[in-house]
Structure 1
C-alpha cells in the first residue's frame, strides 16, 4: 500500500489508518485483547502501517495495546497517531462527561493547558513504549485554554523531538487558522462518511487550499455503512451506537436502502459494501486517509483490502447520484 504525504509535514502515512478506539473496549461493548493484537498485526501485514489511538480510548488501554503491538512490529515500521486533551485525571478545563470503565467511574474534562499536555505526552509515551509520537493531535476544543497557548506547548515538544507533526481533531476552520499562526498544522481529523458530509462545506476547501491533511474518521459511520446493521441487529454491553442519530429510525432503514442500490457495484468488483464505502471515501477531494476500526483479524483484513481495486468515474457518479437521494434526519 503506497503511503501518502500528510499535509505540509514530512510524515507519510498509509491511506487506510487502523482506528484503535474500539480495541480500548470502552463504549463499544467490550473487547478481546488477543483479537485486538491480531487485528493490528493483520492490518500491518496488509500494508496498514499507521495506527490512530488516544488516551481516552479505554482510559489508556488502547494505547497500551498499541504499544505491545509496536514492540513486535518494530517502532520504525509504524506511524503512531495519538491525541491529548480529553483527560480523566484532572478537574481542570471544561467538564465533558461522566463515564464508567475498567470497573471505575470517571469525570472527564477537556483540558489543553500546558501542565496537562506535558503530563499527557509523557503518559502516552510510556504506554506506547516509545520516545516519540509521529502525529500528536488535540482531541477536541477546550474552551478554557487559548489555542495559541496549546500550540506553543506543542511547538516546544516538536523542537524536543517528542512529536514529529501536529494535528487537530474536531476543530473549526477558525480554530485551525488561529493554530497556524503558531505552528505548521499537518492535519485535521474530522468525522466524514457518505451520510455525514458536513466538512465539505468549509473544512475541506480550507484544507485543500492550505495543504492540511484530512483524516476522515467514522467513514463507515461506526459500522452502519457495512450493511450489517439490520433492523434486528443486537448491540451488546455499553455499545454507544444505538443512542446516536444514524442508528435510529428512519435513518437506519434509509441508509440500508441506499446500500442495496449500490451493492451491484461492490459485486462487480467482488468486494464487500464496507470496502466499497472506504474506497469511495479515500478518493474524495481533500481526503488524505480514512480511519477504520477493527476488533479482529477478519475485519482488519477486509479493511486493508479496500484499496485493492479502482472505481471508475462512471461508478463513482452512480454512487454519488444515489447518495444525493438519501435524506438523513439529523434531529432524531
Structure 2
C-alpha cells in the first residue's frame, strides 16, 4: 500500500481508502452486517489504514459497522484514520435534506463520536454545501470543534471553487472530497487545479464509477430495489451500452499490463496531480482485494494516451 501525508495536518493516510457508503445499505439495496465487517477486516489486512464514512450512510449504520469492525480487530486508535461527514439531516421515513447549521453539526459530531467509539475524528467533512447556511458559520463551528479536540482535519465534500474560497476566509481547509473517475472528470476544469494551488488534499470518491469500472457489468445487469443506480442515466439504455463498450476496451488495455480494469481505473485517478486518496468502496469480502494491485506502479505516457483515446466521445 502507498501512504502520504494530508497537507497541513500530519495525518498519514493510505492512498487507497475504504469507502463505506454501500456498507450503510441506503441507496444500495441493503447490506449484510457480517459481510461488511469482514470487508473492513480485509481492507485492514491489506494495509488500508484510511476508512471514509458518513453519518447519513445507513442513517448511522455505516459508522456503527466501522466501529464494530475496528473493535473486533483490536486495531490501535493511532493505526487507523477515520474520516466521516456531517451536514445531512433525515427523518424516520428516510427523507434527507442538507443542514450545515452550527447546531446541527454540533449534534452530529457528538453522535458520530459515540457511534464510532472514538474521542476524536481524524478528518471531519461537510457532506454537501447547504444553501440555507452561510459557509462562514459552518467553517467557524469546525474551527471550534478542532480547538475542542473533537476533530483533527477540516474537510468538505462536493464543494466548488467559490465555496472553498468562502470557507478559507474563515478557517483552514485541509481536504475536499469530490467525485472523480474516467467517467466523471468535471473537477479537472477548476476544483482540482484550485486544490493543487492551495495545498488542499483531494479524496476522490467513486473512482470506479459506482461499479461501472469494475468490469463486472453486462447489458443484462439489473439493480435490486432500493439501489439508486437503477435511475442513473449512465446505467440506462444506450448510454449504459456505450459505457460498457469503453470498459471492455479498458479491460483489454489493463490485461496487457497484467492488471484488472478496476486497478487501471484507480491507478489513473491516483496518478493525477493533486489527488491524495482514492476511495474504493466495498461491502462484502472480495470486493476490496483488487486494491492490492493498485500500489507500486504508475501509468506510462503511452498508456495514458491509449486511455484518452478510449474515453473520447464515440
Relative to the length of structure 2, the TM-score reads 0.96
Q: Which residue pairs with 2:171 in the alignment?
A: 183
User: What is residue 98 of structure 1 aligned with on the other side?
Assistant: none
Aligned to 2:253: 265
CA contact 1:46–1:305 (8 Å) conserved in 2: no
Q: Determine which of 257, 272, 276 is the counterpart of 1:284.
A: 272
**1:166–1:185 CA contact under 8 A, matched in 2:** yes
1:171-320, aligned counterparts within 5 Å? 171-320=159-308
Deviation string 1:10-33 (CA, Å, 9 cap, x unpaired) is 222111010000001111011111
Please name the residue that 1:330 is paired with: none
Alpha carbons 1:225, 1:255 under 8 Å: kept: no
RMSD: 1.4
1:312 is displaced (CA, Å) by 2.1
Q: What residue number does 1:6 align with?
A: 6
Matches within 5 A, 1:20-99: 20-71=20-71, 72=73, 73-88=75-90
Alpha-carbon distance between aligned partners in 1 of 2:142 and 2:270, rounded to the nearest angstrom: 28
Equivalent residues of 2:271, 2:298 under 8 A apart: no
CA distance in 1 between counterparts of 2:131 and 2:202 reads: 23
Report how far residue 231 of structure 1 moved. Answer: 0.8
Taking the aligned partners of 1:326 and 1:76, their CA distance within structure 2 comes to: 46
Q: Map Cα deviations across residues 261-289 of structure 1 (whole Å, 9 max, x no partner).
A: 23232112322111111111111122111
- Structure 2 gaps, min length 5: none
Query: How many Å separate the matches in 2 of 1:262 and 1:61?
Result: 35
- Contact kept in structure 2, 1:254 and 1:326, CA below 8 Å: no
Deviations 1:187-246 (A, max 9, x none): 101011101101111101111111111111111110111222211012112111021121
Q: Aligned partners of 1:234 and 1:109: how far apart in 2?
A: 28
Give the Cα–Cα distance (whole angstroms) in 2 for the partners of residues 313 and 171 of structure 1. Answer: 31
Runs of 4+ in 1 over 4 A off after TM superposition: none
| Aligned residue pair count | 312
Name which of 101, 114, 138 aligns with 1:113.
Answer: 101
Match of 1:97 in 2: none
| Alignment partners' CA distance in 2, 1:34 and 1:14 | 24
Deviation at 1:127, TM superposition (A): 0.2
Q: Give matches, 1:137-152, under 5 Å.
A: 137-152=125-140
- Report Cα offsets for 1:32-61 as digits up to 9, x if no partner: 111111111111111111001001100000
Kept in 2, the 8 Å contact 1:224–1:252? The answer is: no
1:100 paired residue number: none
TM-score (norm 1): 0.91
Q: CA deviation at 1:176?
A: 0.4
Match of 1:18 in 2: 18
* Aligned mates of 1:269, 1:308 — CA distance in 2: 13
